[in-house]
Amino acid sequence: MPVGTQASVKTVRNSDLLENNWQIILGNTYHLYLRPGADVIGNAGGLHRFMSWNRNILTDSGGFQLFSLSKLRKRSEEGYHFQSHIDGSSHLLTPELVIELQRTFGSDVMMVLDECLEQPSTRSRTEESLNLTLRWAERARNMHRGDRQALFGIVQGGAFPDLRRKAAEVLSGMDFDGYAIGGVSVGEPRNLMKRAVRSCIDHLPEDRPRYLMGVGKPEDLVDFVALGVDMFDCVVPTRNARGGAFFVPGGHINIRNARFRNDPLPVQPGCGCYTCRTYSRSYIRHLFKAREWLAPVLATLHNLHYFSVLMGRIRMAVEERHYTSWKKEWYRERRSFDPGIF
Amino acid sequence: MPVGTQASVKTVRNSDLLENNWQIILGNTYHLYLRPGADVIGNAGGLHRFMSWNRNILTDSGGFQLFSLSKLRKRSEEGYHFQSHIDGSSHLLTPELVIELQRTFGSDVMMVLDECLEQPSTRSRTEESLNLTLRWAERARNMHRGDRQALFGIVQGGAFPDLRRKAAEVLSGMDFDGYAIGGVSVGEPRNLMKRAVRSCIDHLPEDRPRYLMGVGKPEDLVDFVALGVDMFDCVVPTRNARGGAFFVPGGHINIRNARFRNDPLPVQPGCGCYTCRTYSRSYIRHLFKAREWLAPVLATLHNLHYFSVLMGRIRMAVEERHYTSWKKEWYRERRSFDPGIF
């Protein structure tokens, strides 16, 4: 899922997302509640109409943003008291308000409010936080049960496999429409991330979507689908694009590199995106060096296309039931490209 | 002509320009010489191939940019000694080098190097500068005479009608492929700008394009075509867009204004641009307030469409030989829209 925190996938238009066949994008409750405000989105008739997007929208609750953006926050049993990172105004986000906001937004998938813990945290701190997250999940679930909008629970539990397993079991008992694994990809090493997913994913119901939050480098998608993950969101395709990083079969290249100064090839020869069909590496490098507005647009278009194609291949391999061999082949192909010389 | 100083019309793609039926865009010799450098553009096979643009390109010489950007410049008979506004490196631009550079770029229309004078300037200072500009024009003309690339002379002469008339006559004798009027729109009042154009335009050959440089508000286009101008370039549609200003039949509106907070209408109802066909005022205002990357893109798309439609109407009225009545009607219509309430 491309990330459109503030109701816009950065630099691109809806038509670009439609062309790449994206079926669902992300919005963020914390951000949209602060700006433009739920009243504006409500007056527009919901988030879809506000941003003229007819396909699916998942709204994250904002637990992670409270953790990462709001310096002045105070957690209580009730919810989060915090000051806006925009204007310093005071707010209280409760599990119930987060559901109400997402109802106003009309998101297709709503997320419960959770607490995202700083890493590393002690076992007792993690357990205390998880128990609160589970009580909040229950309050959210009691608020909402319906057909039109799905509601997902979020597994926390930090670096402790038994806590994550317990979270998965307790949440499964609440019969959510889908389940997310949160609190990963917060700076921990990759093997810990894998352990966190492994410890809980098999304890989530197989007939509901399983969503790994904030994870999405190409190798992550390939590896975690193998572990049973169905959905991802990540700023990597769009944020890295704005820094000049283009994803290619061999990994990624930074187009600012001097070796592209006179390079007439498209960024990824054979790629079907507008950027690769139209412009050369030399030109795109110039746009980045000259800080032209078009530069991040062209990079975002390419990366979104790259990820869309990758996810399409992953889906096909899963459907055709040869994912393990496909995955091996993908890694082999990846190693065969040297992004340094191709 | 939309302005693409650094070989990119800011925020938009070539396909956007093609959709709006733009036949020619601007580049700037001073900027492109400094970055990416003539070698890069030459290696790409010229500016058209470098930027993947098949239609026409006019490159300004850089006289105005030397005047406005380079703090450390020294003019001699030979040319301009100056330090780059990018890295402080030392350069010498001569009338001959400016032609050579534009030959490397392969621009469809090349401009001679001229001196753009600060305003106001005394008569003697203006006359001395104009005489140098005319000697430079002759050196450029002697360097280039050809079919593939047109070369335009530039009328200077500041605020002195007789000097501007003299410039027009001398340049006409050099048989340029077209003629520009430069050194206007540098902060002087509108009536002085009109006087400057009136004093020289009738002394330029009728069978060659007449190009008013750096001018291009909607009312300028309407008024100066009446005086005989054929071509314009201006950053107004694109630069003002990035500040949130949208051109509409009644003038312009700034979409950041609080009155658009809950406005579900398109910026200009009935407008055929992608922005107006897709998004509401409320949403676009949110994008500007949230400093989203898409905001300047959507505004630029609308403004370029607005100006393209306006120039199309102007051309039609000229061809149908009822320009004076059309112009009166345009002003009447303009006044009938109140941008404050529409």
Amino acid letter, residue B247: F
Is B233 assigned a catalytic role?
yes
Specify the DSSP element, H or E, that contains B142: helix B123-143
pLDDT tens per residue across span B243-293: 999 999 999 999 999 999 999 999 999 999 999 999 999 999 999 999 999
Q: Is B150 helix (H, G, I), strand (E, B) or coil?
A: strand
Task: Answer left, alpha or beta for residue A52, where phi above 0 means left and psi between -120 and 50 means alpha.
Answer: left
Rg (CA), chain B: 21
Q: What is the pLDDT along chain A (342 residues), one digit of tens a residue?
A: 999 999 999 999 999 999 999 999 999 999 999 999 999 999 999 999 999 999 999 999 988 888 887 667 899 999 999 998 899 899 999 999 999 999 999 999 999 999 988 888 999 999 999 999 999 999 999 999 888 999 999 999 999 999 999 999 999 999 999 999 999 988 889 999 999 999 999 999 999 999 999 999 999 999 999 999 999 999 999 999 999 999 999 999 999 999 999 999 999 999 999 999 999 999 999 999 999 999 999 999 999 999 999 999 999 999 999 999 999 999 999 999 876 544
Q: Which of A262, A289, A292 sits opposite B43 (nearest CB)?
A: A262
Tens digit of pLDDT for each residue in B149-171?
999 999 999 999 999 999 999 99
Mean pLDDT, rounded, of chain B: 95
Our CA dihedral for B148, B153, B154, B155, rounded to 10 degrees, sits at -150
Q: Are strands B90-93 and B178-181 parallel, antiparallel or unpaired?
A: unpaired
β-bridge partners, B25: B57
Q: How far does the CA of residue A127 sit from the closest CA of chain B (Å)?
A: 37
B202 as an active site residue: the answer is no
What pLDDT score was predicted for residue B66? Answer: 86
Q: Which residues of A touch B12 (CB under 8 A)?
A: 294
Tens digit of pLDDT for each residue in B213-250? 999 999 999 999 999 999 999 999 999 999 999 999 99
Phi, psi dihedrals of residue A220, rounded to the nearest 5°:
-65, -45
Per the model's pLDDT, the better-predicted residue between B67 and B210 turns out to be B210
> Does this complex have an ipTM over 0.85?
yes
Average pLDDT over residues B293-320: 98
Among B272, B315, B279, smallest CA distance to B295 is for B279
CA–CA separation, B307 and A67 (whole Å): 46
**CB contact (8 A) between residue A13 and residue B297:** yes
Q: Could you tell me which chain A residue has the CA closest to the CA of B261?
A: A40
Cα(A59)–Cα(A78) distance, integer angstroms = 21
Rounded distance between C-alpha atoms, residue A13 and residue A304, angstroms? 12
Closest by CA to A24, choosing from A55, A54, A53, is A55
Residue B206 clears pLDDT 80, i.e. is over it: yes
Q: Residues of B with CB below 8 A from A35's CB?
A: 286, 289-290
Compute and round to an integer the Cα radius of gyration of chain A.
Answer: 21
Tokens of A332: 């082999």
- Do the beta carbons of residue B130 and residue B154 sit within 8 Å? no
Do the Cβ atoms of A9 and A2 come closer than 8 Å?
yes
Q: Determine the pLDDT at residue A286.
A: 98
Closest CB from B40, B283, B290 relative to A50 = B283
Please report the number of interchain residue pairs, chain A to chain B, with beta-carbon separation below 8 angstroms: 124
Among A278, A283, A303, the residue to mutate for chain B (most B Cβ within 10 A): A283
Residue partners of B81: CB distance under 8 A and separation at least 6: B73, B74, B75, B90, B91, B92
- For residue B90 the two structure tokens come to 């030392």
- Which residues touch A228 (CB under 8 Å, ≥6 apart)? A201, A202, A210
Catalytic-labelled residue, pool A87, A108, A233, A338: A233
Of B11, B51, B296, the CB nearest to A283: B51
Mean pLDDT (whole number) for B40-45 = 98
CA distance A164 to A127: 10
> Which neighbouring-strand residues pair with A93?
A80
The whole-model pTM stands at 0.97
